[in-house]
Amino acid sequence: MTTRRLMLAAIALAAAMHGAQAEPARIDNVVSFSASANLEVTKDLLTVTLQAVRDGTDAATVQAGLKQALDSALAEAKKSAAPGQMEVRTGNFSLNPRYGRDGKINGWQGSAELVLEGKDLPRVAQTAGKLTGMNVVNVSQSLSRELTEKHDTEVTAQAIQKFRAKAAELAKQFGFAGYTLREVNVQSAEQGMPPRPMYRMNAEAAAMSSAPVPVEAGRGTLTSTVSGSVVLTK
Distance CA 166, CA 226 (A): 11
The string of pLDDT tens digits covering residues 87-123 is: 999 999 999 999 989 989 999 999 999 999 999 999 9
Collect the ranges in the chain with pLDDT lower than 50: 192-209
> Residues 209-224, buried b or exposed e (16+ Cβ, 10 A)?
eeebbebeeeebebbb
State the CB neighbour count (10 A cutoff) for residue 73. Answer: 26
Report yes or no on 111 lying in a domain: yes
The total of structural domains in the chain comes to 1
Does 125 reside within a domain? yes
32 belongs to a structural domain: no
pLDDT in tens, 197-210: 334 444 444 444 45
Q: Is residue 209 part of a domain?
A: yes
Q: Is residue 51 part of a domain?
A: yes
CATH of the domain at 208: 3.30.70
Residue 161 lies in a domain: no
Separation between Cα atoms, residue 143 and residue 218, nearest integer Å = 10
E-strand ranges in the chain read 30-42, 45-56, 87-99, 105-118, 135-142, 178-191, 219-233
- Look at residue 27 and tell me if it is in a domain: no
Residue span of the structural domain in which 61 resides: 45-142+194-216
In a domain, 35, yes or no: no
pTM of this structure: 0.66
